[in-house]
């Protein structure tokens, strides 16, 4: 999902994650971040390391970091 297709009132954030190398990695990161309250969609792209998150409100970056850590990867920060 891109910023152009967001629903009104949603927030889009793009994060940089290191260590993803395949579709399974993308799925692991997406699944963990999807568990955070308010998250509507997550799209992880291993080739760029970018993870796009659409949520009802801005997410706490430490919560996102913890979710990425749980998946076995490292959150560098906002892309």
Q: What does pTM read for this prediction?
A: 0.88
CA distance 68 to 65: 5
pLDDT value at residue 7: 62
Element at 41 (helix H, strand E): strand 39-45
Block means of pLDDT (10 residues each) for the chain, 79 residues, are 56 97 98 97 98 97 98 96
Cβ proximity of 45 and 33 under 8 Å = no
Contact at 8 Å (CB) between 64 and 78? no
């Amino acid at each position: 999902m891109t910023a152009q297709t967001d629903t009104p009132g949603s927030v889009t954030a793009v994060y940089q994650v290191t260590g993803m190398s395949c579709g399974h990695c993308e799925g692991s990161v997406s699944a963990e971040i999807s568990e955070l309250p308010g998250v509507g969609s997550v799209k992880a792209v291993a080739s760029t390391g970018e993870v796009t998150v659409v949520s009802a409100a801005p997410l706490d970056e430490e919560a996102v970091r913890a979710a990425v850590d749980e998946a076995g990867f490292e959150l560098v920060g906002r892309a």
